[in-house]
Structure 1
Amino acid sequence: MLYQTHIRIHLDHIRFNINGIRQAIGAERKLLIAVKANAYGHGAVEVSRMAEEIGVDWLGVATVPEGIQLRQAGIHLPILKFSPVFEEEMETAVHNNLVLTVCELENIHALQAASAAAGKRQPVHLKVETGMGRIGVSISEAPALATFIDQHCPNLELEGIFTHLPISDDPDPDYTRGQIQRFKAVAEDIHKAIGRRVDLVHCANSGAVLGHDSGWLDMVRPGVMVYGTYPDPRTPRTIPLKPGMSFYTRVSFLKYVTAGTSIGYGRTWFAPQDTWIGTIPVGYADGFNRLFSNRGRVLINGRSYRLVGRVCMDQSMVDLGPTTDVKVGDEVVLMGRSGDEEITCEEWAQTLNTITYEVTCQINPRVTRVYLH
């Protein structure tokens, strides 16, 4: 490993989380795990291979290239692309056996033509807008659009109906309960309109898996909880989770500075006393956010140390105090455990005023992923 700044992906923890979800929802439901955005930074191919081995039913991606990457890696599970596909992507998406989202008539016409040209019957899932406000056919128009697919698109197979829940992680359940009820009602209207029941009706993301079992339906679609964090600190912790990643580097340089010495770009920190400064080879280009400047912390040999000065693109500095036993080459924990101390993904999110999703997604691909089974 030539780049010592690296992430350890705990596939055994991710497997633990998936098994906990499976046990909670029961064997009668399908389980789709979201592996978009490189499996939230954890490695889509590696996570998907493990998921396929342990019996996950579906995978979810955001883009056609994400789906192609999994197919080229030999993944055979059904893969749902969560958003509509552009016309110029359709031939490639159909060829790679991606299940596609539809929610408007012009796009459906184009996909029917592309599927017919390929000589394939293309499975699609109809996205219904019930309160997210992002994409989806309206509740009032959904039965007619489903009927059009079912009766007038011989190369399209209406396999699923789904929606998305924007505040399922909120402790106030009323909005989400109402949204689930609206979705169930429109699904029944669609079934009546087409004269049959589609195979998969689904809406439950991580928040709903944890707190809204009325939305589990035929399939659930957990994302962030697969990787070991809860979607919101207030979300019910009904399923235990283990963190999917930890983040490490090593001390690259040590220097002793006198009181008043400035450290880093902009001279934003001055040593209040004579002290040792350690430099570590990690910066914002790695996903170690610049907002950690003068406020973040790291762990070395079981002790917590403050970051000082501005986080640079590739390096950062740590105040080790007037005396230290830290040596060049010592392991530095950026996220994870050292002795009795721990820095969690949730702590990063709180310090950075963001969410755990963004924390893991923004760790740069140049950071080596080491997979632990």
Structure 2
Amino acid sequence: MTTTEPATSWPEGATARAVVDLGAIRHNVRTLAEKAPTAQVMAVVKSDAYGHGLLRVADAALDAGASWLGVAQLNEALELRAGLDATGLRPPILTWLFAPGAPLSRALAADLDLSASAPWAVQEIAAAAREAGRTARVHLKVDTGMGRGGARPEAFGELLDAAARARAEGAVDVVGIWSHLARADEPDHPATSEQTAVFTAALDQAARRGIQPQVRHLGQSAGTLFHPDTHFDLVRPGISVYGLTPAVAAGSSAELGLRPAMRLEARLTLVKAAPAGTPVSYGHTARTTTDTTLAVVPLGYSDGLPRIASDAGPVSVRGRRLHVTGRICMDQSVVDLGAEGADVREGDVAVVFGDGSDGGPTADDWAAASGTISYEIVSRLGGRVPRVYVDPERDQ
């Protein structure tokens, strides 16, 4: 469910909501463009825009100056293209994950850019292009040190040869050559400069075969923010588009000039007095230590709260910073309000995370409590939590 409403309103029947500030998305895209003034910006909106909402975020990012969009999976790329077509927007969209036998003819019909990491992928793209009677737009990926997607440097020549053959018959156009950074979130680590050198060598290898791509792209969020040498023609920020830092140790969102775009909150469904010694939630991993007040927050692990953050995940109620008490359940969690919680009532709002400007918890705080990263916290948010969009820039 998605709605565009004033921040004071709640979707009918909803006990929780994720408020997404589209003005923050625009601000972040502009900030990132300023960090890479010689490059175009591809806003990465995979995984439903990291949980923020694919089409609304894509529209805001394009409005702020992003000229490309990127998604991982073919189906989400098709959804994105169809949704944008309805608005009259038609930016280039890159998608990079598909298995043999994928419906590439649909991708070509939708004017999607496709990534190839091995000769078989080029061959399947070329076959689909011949069948469709059109030229496919292809980005060749080289593995510069991530050990994930892309052809290993020693095998990149085979990928280039396959692309050159397909290009010679008019089946493909090599639009891009790209790679991905593994340790750019550690600004002082030499791995990034090493990967950049491997990438540059791959570009030289392509040039010797007469392949000169329109865009060379290497830097993601951390590359955009911390490594100017990785900017080339195009940067691909992901988490930073949503206002979250890719490297907490290197700088907070505020220090990097970013604004977190999502606030997750819920209305308390039950508030009750509990005597000292009351066991709380499954396994009785927590007990009240004094006479207190307990509150039920209608969010649980099926909504995306990490169960590993039981007894630790931070929550703010009436401006007081508290934490989940006991185990996080599938649909709900409990917070010990303490002696000061006697005035809290059902319907009061518990903030799970937001931008932290009021001292409340952030996605980074939940990541720290869970031993993970903010990327996981926002992108795992469940589909039954309605997204409510606010747009201060447009509402003025």
Q: Is the 8 A contact 2:138 2:172 kept in 1?
A: yes
Give the corresponding residue for 1:252: 269
Q: Is the 8 A contact 1:307 1:319 kept in 2?
A: yes
**Given the alignment of the two structures, is residue 349 of structure 1 paired with residue 367 of structure 2, yes or no?**
yes
Give the corresponding residue for 1:205: 220
Give the corresponding residue for 1:279: 296
**Given the alignment of the two structures, is residue 264 of structure 1 paired with residue 275 of structure 2, yes or no?**
no
**Given the alignment of the two structures, is residue 133 of structure 1 paired with residue 147 of structure 2, yes or no?**
yes
Residues 36-72 of structure 1: CA distance to partner in whole angstroms, max 9, x if unpaired? 0111111111111112223311111111111111112
2: CA distance, partners of 1:159 / 1:222? 19
Residues 298-321 of structure 1: CA distance to partner in whole angstroms, max 9, x if unpaired? 111111223222211111111122
1: CA distance, partners of 2:133 / 2:268? 58
Give the corresponding residue for 2:21: 10
> What code does the residue aligned with 1:301 have?
R
User: Cα gap change, 1:283/1:294 in structure 2, threshold over 3 Å: closer, same or farther?
Assistant: same
2: CA distance, partners of 1:287 / 1:83? 24
**Given the alignment of the two structures, is residue 191 of structure 1 paired with residue 201 of structure 2, yes or no?**
no
Q: Which of 329, 333, 357 is residue 312 of structure 1 equivalent to?
A: 329
2: CA distance, partners of 1:333 / 1:236? 24
- Deviation at residue 164 of structure 1 after TM alignment: 0.9
> What code does the residue aligned with 1:214 have?
D
> What code does the residue aligned with 2:46 have?
K
Give the corresponding residue for 1:70: 80
Stretches of structure 1 lacking an aligned partner (at least 5 in a row): none
User: Cα gap change, 1:338/1:193 in structure 2, threshold over 3 Å: closer, same or farther?
Assistant: closer
> What code does the residue aligned with 2:77 have?
G
- Deviation at residue 358 of structure 1 after TM alignment: 0.6
> What code does the residue aligned with 2:186 have?
D
Q: Which of 59, 80, 92 is residue 106 of structure 2 equivalent to?
A: 92
Q: Which of 205, 226, 235 is residue 220 of structure 1 equivalent to?
A: 235
Q: Is the 8 A contact 1:260 1:271 kept in 2?
A: yes
Give the corresponding residue for 2:184: 168
- Deviation at residue 84 of structure 1 after TM alignment: 4.5
Residues 135-176 of structure 1: CA distance to partner in whole angstroms, max 9, x if unpaired? 212223324532432344421111110011100111323121
Q: Is the 8 A contact 1:21 1:239 kept in 2?
A: no
Higher strand share: 1
- Deviation at residue 208 of structure 1 after TM alignment: 0.9
2: CA distance, partners of 1:339 / 1:350? 18
Secondary structure (helix, strand or coil) at the match of 1:62 reads strand
Moved over 6 A (4+): none
Residues 323-362 of structure 1: CA distance to partner in whole angstroms, max 9, x if unpaired? 5211111111111268943111111111100011111111
Give the corresponding residue for 1:362: 380
Give the corresponding residue for 1:288: 305
2: CA distance, partners of 1:235 / 1:266? 38
2: CA distance, partners of 1:296 / 1:125? 41
- Most deviating of 209-218 and 308-317: 308-317
2: CA distance, partners of 1:42 / 1:239? 20
Residues 267-302 of structure 1: CA distance to partner in whole angstroms, max 9, x if unpaired? 222222221111121111111222232222311111
Give the corresponding residue for 1:33: 43
Q: What is the TM-score of this pair, normalised by structure 1?
A: 0.94
1: CA distance, partners of 2:357 / 2:43? 33
Secondary structure (helix, strand or coil) at the match of 2:176 reads strand
> What code does the residue aligned with 2:106 have?
T
Q: Is the 8 A contact 1:150 1:157 kept in 2?
A: no
Give the corresponding residue for 1:156: 172
Residues 169-193 of structure 1: CA distance to partner in whole angstroms, max 9, x if unpaired? 1132312112101211220221121
Q: Is the 8 A contact 2:25 2:243 kept in 1?
A: yes
Q: Is the 8 A contact 1:302 1:339 kept in 2?
A: no
> What code does the residue aligned with 1:135 have?
G
Q: After superposition, where does 1:39-58 map in structure 2 within 5 Å? A: 39-58=49-68
Secondary structure (helix, strand or coil) at the match of 1:208 reads helix
Q: Is the 8 A contact 1:296 1:306 kept in 2?
A: yes
Q: Is the 8 A contact 1:146 1:158 kept in 2?
A: no
User: Cα gap change, 1:192/1:280 in structure 2, threshold over 3 Å: closer, same or farther?
Assistant: same
> What code does the residue aligned with 2:66 have?
V
